[in-house]
Amino acid sequence: MLAERSSFNPLISPEDVIPSRPELMVKGVCNAGATTFGDEILLLLRVMEAPAPDDGMVFVPVLDLDGRPGNAYRFLTFRKDDPDLDSSDPRVVSYRGRLYLTVISHLRLARSVDGVNFSIDPKPTIMAQGPQESYGIEDARVTLIDDTYYITYVAVSHFSYTTSLMTTTDWSDYQRRGAIFHPQNKDVVIFPERINGAYFALHRPDPGKFGLPAIWIARSPDLLHWGDHRHLLGPSLEGWDAWKVGAGAPPIATERGWLEIYHGVSHDGVYGLAALLLDGEDPSRVIACSPAPLLVPETMYEIQGFFSNTVFTDGVVRKLGESDRLLVYYGASDQYVCMTEFSIQAILDSLGPCKPAQTQGNMLYDGGRVDGGRSPRPRRE
Amino acid sequence: MLAERSSFNPLISPEDVIPSRPELMVKGVCNAGATTFGDEILLLLRVMEAPAPDDGMVFVPVLDLDGRPGNAYRFLTFRKDDPDLDSSDPRVVSYRGRLYLTVISHLRLARSVDGVNFSIDPKPTIMAQGPQESYGIEDARVTLIDDTYYITYVAVSHFSYTTSLMTTTDWSDYQRRGAIFHPQNKDVVIFPERINGAYFALHRPDPGKFGLPAIWIARSPDLLHWGDHRHLLGPSLEGWDAWKVGAGAPPIATERGWLEIYHGVSHDGVYGLAALLLDGEDPSRVIACSPAPLLVPETMYEIQGFFSNTVFTDGVVRKLGESDRLLVYYGASDQYVCMTEFSIQAILDSLGPCKPAQTQGNMLYDGGRVDGGRSPRPRRE
């Protein structure tokens, strides 16, 4: 494997994070946006919290929309033996067909000069706010453009989930800029510069049952309004990325094109990471794909945790002074923050042709017995 | 009821439409965008076609992406007795969890001087084109802004469905402007003018299992790129609109605000129409709602057809010379084009307060046994 995991992994664990309120405990810290600010590496952590377990009950924390001060929560209470309750997935409970999250997330800054030892803010940096964030905010990605940091994040609520945008220049004041991708969309990464006059983003809309979860690309004149949505890359139909793919970290510029570290999910629900190369002048053109994943769950903290068998990146940073070294920060089993290094050149050299199913989709997926060759008879009346 | 159905209903039936190819038959003609052009009323019909039935087989028509000329189709062939096949919904077949449409749609112009007698183009006006329209194009809505007609339509494919945009000035040349709303989104209507500097649209993203299908509103600087997505109006939790709502026709300006004729769906799957009033200066503010539907399936052609118990509008036209008379064109049972007249004033006078669940959603929906009052104990370690 090309991956060189940090010997300090996991870099951040739930016990390193002070809960936001006394009645909550930190269940996971993961999926961190990553960037640099001055001579520091910043991670914008996703901190997942839930009430302490209670025998026989499930407490679902939601933002209190009744106007109580200070980011108060209230708790939806379910009996574990309720026959209408399905709690087989640790991330959600399903009650009479409606989904709720078992944890509520906020975003919290962590700072480091060496990229492995982080000092974590003692309090939440950015909390959920308003009805479209009633179930929390998750999975930040950070792109620096012209001295402004553009932070995409997933806003989950009783309406659904969107990807929303906030901006900052100083990591102290944050401006919310609204939902830039309507339900259901996540895994949104913004390219770090205009390309032939337009901004671009990768995103991952939910395709429903017509297609498979795939990476799409969109254009924008101003980073706030998006259009020209195009399917870019889908699952490969077998193996590590047969079920879903989605963007990971914001793309980085290389001499061969835009390098994107993205995630794939197998039919068994195992999350892995791989690379994708997009045309430097037209990022809606896919040039090359990883023939095999760059990182799959192998270590104990990747295999076993809040959501097991998961490695998932939201941010990469080029190592200071070493332009070929890429620090890939990733969430492990939705519980820990980890890091692995790569040689960018080695990743580029590993890429090969994409499979037709990845770029073109396949309407015969799962349909070995679907016969596209036979035509019906012409109609006679 | 305020509705005054045309005595000529249904105005257009499948047998009035010449199939696009000899091996296809017209299964339905419905959900027409409506506008005026010169002294004519134009309908942009959705024409749904499928191969003639074949005992024991289901043929699914899809756009031929292998490059055959002339909008050729190919046919996915399923055996009706295949245990992996679910064909209980006449609109779709589900095969091993993947959805396919039983019909493929194109758009076709119909013209009228009196609003009830239409002359229908003998050939398709606008056909599906390219991989993101492989399953056809559906449900046009037309908005005239500054001499350009903006046509939103649903593009369905093996990737999923988007709402895409085309424009025309002469109803002869059409320019495709790309997917303006990513999967899964339909029921997109564009407001007919800038409001305080921005364009607005209503849309209906699929909320997944977190919420219920609801009307959202978005802003745009240029009609091509959209952002600031906000939940506007959802189901009312009981009655005719308990399951879903979605925009219908593009909103019309009245002295009291923007009047929107939209659809709702009950838990039993019955589609009805109602009205909604939005603030004239800030259309993200809902002012008033219909206390009861304006139109529900009652006549034979509304109750029984390709998809029974459905009335669904994509376009309204103000009657020439009678500013209070609104002609509401609607699809009946996904098979016929019908029309009903209303007095705009009577609709406005019928409106009342919206229910909290409509504007605020309800995270306790379906959860009479969800207890929001009890809190978990503070954590002690």
Mean pLDDT for B190-195 is: 98
Model confidence at B57, pLDDT cuts 50, 70, 90, reads confident
Partners of A184 on chain B (C-beta within 8 Å) are 184, 205-208, 210
- At residue B79, the pLDDT reads 87
Inter-chain CB proximity B158 and A361 less than 8 Å: yes
- Looking at residue B120, its amino acid is I
Name beta bridge partners: A59: A77
For residues B364 and B235, give the distance between their C-alpha atoms in angstroms, rounded to a whole number: 13
Tell me the sheet residues that pair with A47.
Answer: A29, A106
Name which of A313-317, B40-44, B94-98, B329-333 the model is least confident about.
Answer: B94-98
Decide if A174 touches B, using CB distance below 8 A. no
pLDDT tens per residue, range B76-90 = 888 888 898 998 899
Q: Is the pLDDT of residue B368 over 60?
A: no
Residue A296: phi and psi, rounded to 5, are -130, 160
User: Contacts of residue B234 in chain A, CB cutoff 8 Å?
Assistant: 159
The pLDDT score that the predictor gives to residue B371 is 41
Q: Is B83 touching A (CB cutoff 8 A)?
A: no
Burial of A70 (0-12, 13-18, 19+ CB in 10 A): exposed
Three-state SS annotation for chain B:
CCCEECCCCCCECHHHCCCCCCCEEEEEEEEEEEEEECCEEEEEEEEEEEECCECCEEEEEEECCCCCCCCCEEEEEEECCCCCEECCCCCEEEECCEEEECCEEEEEEEEECCCCCCEECCCCCECCCCHHHCCEEEEEEEEEECCEEEEEEEEECCCCEEEEEEEECCCCCCEEEEEEECCCEEEEEECCCCECCEEEEEEEECCCCCCCCCEEEEEECCCCCEEEEEEEECCCCCHHHCCEEEECCCCEEECCEEEEEEEEECCCCCEEEEEEEECCCCCCCEEEECCCCCECCCCHHHHCCCCCCCEEEEEEEECCCCCCEEEEEEEECCCEEEEEEEEHHHHHHHCECCCHHHHHCCCCCCCCCCECCCCCCCCCC
* Per-residue pLDDT, A12: 98
What letter represents residue A346's amino acid?
Answer: A
Query: Does the pLDDT value for residue A366 go beyond 50?
Result: no
Residue pair A301/A335 in contact by the 8 Å Cβ criterion: yes
Amino acid, res. B225: H
Distance CA A309, CA A348 (A): 26
Which DSSP category does A364 fall into? T
DSSP A352: B
Long-range contacts from A67-73, C-beta under 8 angstroms, 24+ separation: A71/A20, A71/A124, A71/A127, A71/A128, A71/A129, A73/A21, A73/A24, A73/A104
Average confidence score pLDDT of chain A: 92
Whether A260 shows a pLDDT value over 90: the answer reads: yes
A131 closest CB neighbour out of B226, B360, B374: B360
Q: Which pLDDT tens digit goes with each residue over A261-285? A: 999 999 999 999 999 999 999 999 9
Confidence of residue B345 (pLDDT cuts 50, 70, 90): very high
CB-CB neighbors (< 8 A) of A23 in chain B: 375-379
Is any Cβ of chain B less than 8 angstroms from the Cβ of A90? no
What is the predicted pLDDT for the residue at A328? 98
Calculate the alpha carbon distances from A147 to A38, A150, A202, B379 in Å.
11, 10, 21, 42
- What distance in Å separates the CA atoms of residue B28 and residue B136, rounded to the nearest whole number? 14
| Res. B65 pLDDT band, cuts 50 70 90 | confident
Residue contact A159–B377, C-beta within 8 A:
no
**Domains along the sequence of chain A with CATH:** 7-359 (2.115.10.20)
Residue at B97: amino acid letter: G
d(CA B279, nearest CA chain A) in Å:
20
Residue A74 confidence class, pLDDT cut points 50, 70, 90: confident
A45 strand-pairing partners: A108
* pLDDT over 50 (residue B216): yes
Higher pLDDT, A321 or A247: A247
Q: Does A204 touch chain B (CB under 8 A)?
A: no
Cβ of residue B94 closer than 8 Å to a chain A Cβ: yes
Residue pLDDT, tens place only, A147-200? 999 999 999 999 999 999 999 999 999 999 999 999 999 999 999 999 999 999
Q: Do A185 and B181 touch (CB under 8 A)?
A: no
Whole-number percent of chain B with pLDDT over 70: 94
Interface test with A, best of B182, B212, B365 (most A CBs within 10 A): B182
CA atoms within 13 A on the CB side of B312: 30
Measured CA angle at B123 (ends B120, B127), to 5 deg? 115
Per-residue pLDDT tens for A78-104? Answer: 888 889 899 889 999 998 888 999 999
Question: Residues A4-44: pLDDT tens digits?
Answer: 999 999 999 999 999 999 989 999 999 999 999 999 999 99
B282-288 CB contacts, 8 Å cutoff, 24+ apart: B282/B195, B282/B196, B283/B191, B283/B195, B283/B200, B283/B217, B283/B251, B283/B258, B284/B200, B284/B217, B284/B230, B284/B232, B286/B232, B286/B233, B286/B354, B286/B358, B286/B359, B287/B256, B287/B257, B287/B351, B288/B351, B288/B352, B288/B353, B288/B354
Question: Which of B:111-150 have CB within 8 Å of A?
Answer: 131-132, 134-135
Phi-psi region of A324 (alpha: psi -120 to 50; beta: other; left: phi over 0): alpha
Nearest one of B140, B142, B161, B159 to B150, comparing CA atoms: B142
- The chain B residue lying nearest A205, using CA atoms, is B183
CA atoms within 13 A on the CB side of A20: 25
Q: Over pLDDT 90: what percentage of chain A?
A: 80
Instruction: Say if the Cβ atoms of A208 and B206 lie within 8 Å.
Output: yes
Sign of CA dihedral A243, A245, A246, A249: positive
Amino acid A363: pLDDT: 66
Q: What is the pTM of this model?
A: 0.95
Residue A201 structure tokens: 């983003």
Question: How far is the alpha carbon of B7 from chain A, nearest alpha carbon, in Å?
Answer: 30
Q: How many helices and strands (H and E) does chain A possess?
A: 3, 26
Q: How confident is the model at residue A364 (pLDDT cuts 50, 70, 90)?
A: low
Query: What pLDDT is stored for residue A1 in this prediction?
Result: 67
Give whole-number Cα distances, A319 to A119, A326, B79, B104, in Å.
19, 6, 58, 52
Residue B132 has pLDDT above 80, yes or no: yes
The pLDDT score that the predictor gives to residue A377 is 47
Q: Dump pLDDT digits (tens) for A296-355.
A: 999 999 999 999 999 999 999 999 888 899 999 999 999 999 999 999 999 999 999 999
DSSP A54: B
Q: Give the distance from residue B298's alpha carbon to the nearest chain A alpha carbon, in angstroms.
A: 31
How many percent of chain B have pLDDT more than 90? 80
Across the interface, do B374 and A156 touch by the CB < 8 Å criterion? Answer: no
Distance CA B278, CA B268 (A): 28
Shortest CA distance to A28 belongs to which of A162, A145, A185, A139? A139
Q: What is the pLDDT of residue B223?
A: 98
A88 is written with which tokens? 């087989």
pLDDT at B263 > cutoff 60: yes
Query: pLDDT at residue B369 above 50?
Result: no
B275-311: per-residue pLDDT in tens?
A: 999 999 999 999 999 999 999 999 999 999 999 999 9
**Cβ–Cβ gap A156/B210 under 8 Å:** yes
| Interface with B, mutate which of A182, A199, A359 (most B CBs under 10 A) | A182
Compute the distance between CA of residue B343 and CA of residue B346 in angstroms, rounded to an integer: 5
